[in-house]
Amino acid sequence: VASEGFEVIEGSPELDAGGWHQTWRVLPIVVPVPVSVTMRQAKLALSRAIVLGRANTAISAMPGQAGEEARIEWEYATTLRRDHPLVAGLGQALGLTAGDIDALFISAAAIP
């Protein structure tokens, strides 16, 4: 029986001097990280992860021109790219690892 997140691949039966043998391979299922998600999906994923309020606070607190541009992106952008500087800055402000951010993007992409 395979665990969630793994797939089992059945090999071909083989006959040797000891009789018939069956093999299986258990491989992890790799879900690709989306390049982008809609801003709606991103905010819903953050909300479901219970960090949307902290994200809003962090963006509000960003100083200077970079903060102004981050607030404009946050409010008016229709998509959010994984490689956008806002994602890295927000992830750092929230104490998220690259793996955490990838998981949020995967989660966001699954929201219809």
Nearest of 93, 91, 92, 55 to residue 74 by alpha carbon: 55
Distance CA 58, CA 56 (A): 6
67 by Cβ neighbours in 10 Å (0-12 / 13-18 / 19+) ranks as middle
**What residue has token string 């962090």?**
58
In a 3-state reduction of DSSP, which class is residue 100?
Answer: helix
- Specify the pLDDT at position 12: 86
Low-confidence ranges of the chain (pLDDT < 50): 1-2
